Amino acid sequence: MVFENVGMPNPLWQLQGQQVLNHETHKLELAVPGTLSPAEFDKAVSDLVSFMVWMAEPQQEFRQRLGWFVLAFLAVLFVLAYALKKEYWKDIH
């Protein structure tokens, strides 16, 4: 039994269509069009990927927003600590 090394199958092949490799340019070209145009397929895949990223971490937006507040608090705390240090050590230097 001989198996070809074809890689992972494309689960969206009906939407995208069948592609073949152009050996001269080393790029995939559309051989049989799918049910969606290339622009519609790109938009659908972009939406799918965006949804999967959101599902992987739905709290990411809150976490990033909170991170900016934490960094701002640390910056203010650093300025206050530096001013306090200058006040305590002003007679020694």
pLDDT digits (tens, 9 = 90+) for 14-49: 899 888 888 899 898 888 999 999 999 999 999 999
**Coil, strand or helix: which one is 33?**
strand
Confirm whether pTM is higher than 0.75.
no
Residue carrying the six token digits 């659908």: 44
pLDDT digits (tens, 9 = 90+) for 83-92: 999 999 988 8
CA 43 to chain centre: 16
10 in Cβ contact with 28 (< 8 Å): no
10 in Cβ contact with 17 (< 8 Å): no
Q: How many CB atoms lie within 10 A of CB 4?
A: 5
Averaged confidence pLDDT in the chain: 89
